[in-house]
Chains A and B, each alone.
Chain A
Amino acid sequence: MSRLSRCLIALASLAVLGALPLPLWNIRLAAPQYPEGLGMQIDANTVRGATDHDLGNINELNHYIGMKTIEPDDIPELRVIPWFIVGLAVLGFAAAAVGKRSGAYLWVGVFAALGAAGGWDFWHWEYLYGHDLDLEHAIIKIPGMSYQPPLIGSKQLLNFTASSWPASGALLLGVAFALGVAAIVVSRRAAAEVDAPALGVRPHEALA
């Protein structure tokens, strides 16, 4: 790979590492009597309220519909996600160091697979919380109603509008992924140019 591609992969790995302390996803809940809204923030290693008491208040409201209490300790994935992120960064640095294009392919592939798995897992937890309701003790029971917030976008759940959007960490991961793809593109283009000197581009120019 060209030096530029290797730099891009290294930069992408740095961005992956940078996403570690940032929030990955935000879920906002707005209702007439909550003009300031309630919020939940999903980090790599925990779920917490947008303010100190938001998660407690969301759980308090959820007892009306029989939803399980949302407790970060109940979600085992939160214990391993940070290690996956670190591992992804290490793999990226390794790919940059080795400098083979196959390494870049491997890295982007692993990244895509982890991203898809993470997205599915998040959706699955939303599904579980939204559907696994204690109907025996629920105070508000509406036949056929479930309370799964969307993965991306907004949805009306009784008096609350639930909106779910990627947060800065996820956006940074997106940038990292794009950098990884860019590294491959740059590397392929450079290779194509080296293979076609007839076009008049000298190899050292392509490296620049």
Chain B
Amino acid sequence: MLLDLKIEPQAQNLPLRELWAFLPIGYLFTIAIETPVLLVGLSRKVTLKQRLWCGIWLTACTYPIVVLVLPAIFMGASRVLYLTIAEIFAPVGECFLFWLAFRGNRDLEIADWIRSLAAIVVANLASFGFGEIMNHYDWWGLF
């Protein structure tokens, strides 16, 4: 999820239309990073199909907020403020959505919940790291 944060040098000033253009590309890159992490990290009591679904769905839920809404709100404002809010929002939002979707699953015990929520946070950090690398290579000319 933090993948988008690596375009932050431009994020605060990018024309709005370019944010829209980045949305699908950034999303695909993000799920390409986060889904494997979730496949490995989420509790084994969550089926493989559900873990795959989480990889696609959780990011899709928070990504438009992080890539479109927050940069538009904080356009021209402090980048640190934007980063802090986006950093907190994405993992917290995804953890909440995971709880919303699986709260009826009685097989999940406290240890499973902790493991799963930690996996979501790690997945977000991983996408951030990958975003750093992508930014280093200037997104191979995509932008």
Answer whether A and B are interacting partners. no
B residues contacting A by CB (< 8 A) are none
A residues contacting B by CB (< 8 A) are none
